Amino acid sequence: GIQVEQSPPDLILQEGANSTLRCNFSDSVNNLQWFHQNPWGQLINLFYIPSGTKQNGRLSATTVATERYSLLYISSSQTTDSGVYFCAVARSSNTGKLIFGQGTTLQVKP
């Protein structure tokens, strides 16, 4: 099956710093999403981005589908950005199953 690898596994930042999270996937996909899991366990959808670039405030994401990777940029990080960031992909299939990476745990220190 398709493999999803995220890097780095852990990241510690000072408030105000910028960061880039990476997601590599092993096969072509028709769905790629970035999620933030907050300390309460909720999965918040950040981007639906099977290809191209999107921006939402301090966050932006780029997916290069032909090279099978996606990047999530966090600028001017805040303590509320702490949590786990997941990349998840799905192939065109008859199950619609999302395959999640193992996540990047981000801690933003004040």
Residue nearer to another protein on the CB measure, 57 or 110: 57
C-alpha separations of 16 from 13, 42, 49 in Å: 8, 24, 25
Residue nearer to another protein on the CB measure, 18 or 26: 26
Contact between 84 and 108 under an 8 Å Cβ cutoff? The reply is no
Which residues touch 26 (CB under 8 Å, ≥6 apart)?
A: 2, 3, 4, 68
| x-or-dash string of contact with another protein, 9-38, rule CB under 8 A | ---------------------xx-x-x---
- Which positions touch another protein (CB under 8 A)? 30-31, 33, 35, 41-43, 45, 48, 86, 88, 92, 94-98, 100, 102-103
